[in-house]
Amino acid sequence: MTPHQIDLVQKSFALVLPIKEKAAELFYERLFAIDASAAPLFARSDMKMQGSKLMAALAMIVGGLNKPDSVLPKAEALARGHVAYGVTDSHYDSVGAALLWTLRQGLGPAFDAPTEEAWTEAYALLSSVMLRAAHTAPDAHA
């Protein structure tokens, strides 16, 4: 990612923070609508708490984009943990699509083409790191 792309992601995420509860709700609604296989992964979850966890994870990752050495090990650990919950490779595509859709809905005109491209790049980088880590988890399955 370029420094400009990192700046776009960080500035646009700052606009999400005031609406983070609604954004998390929109994200999970969209995720379950486009990928029915994701819903059972959250069957026993308190979705309000899950939304808070999602936003905290995004804040950690977005905040660490300009210092990847500090954030990538955390993302890798997160990915290895997700394997135990039943997350598969295909879920990463669904999550990416739901994330971009949510940002588009929540940010409106502020989610312009360069910002969407920056988020797409950020998610591609993150998901590739997480998928690699997931494949090395003790109970990995794809």
Taking the CB of residue 139, how many other CB atoms lie within 10 A of it? 7
Could you say which residues of the chain have pLDDT below 50?
A: 142
Q: What is the pLDDT of residue 139?
A: 65
Q: What is the pLDDT of residue 86?
A: 81
- Quick one: which of 117, 97, 102, 119 has its CA closest to 19? 102
Q: How far, in Å, CA of 63 to CA of 75, rounded? A: 13
pTM: 0.90
Residue-range domains of the chain with CATH: 3-134 (1.10.490.10)
Q: What is the pLDDT of residue 71?
A: 87
Residue 139: both structure tokens together = 């109970």
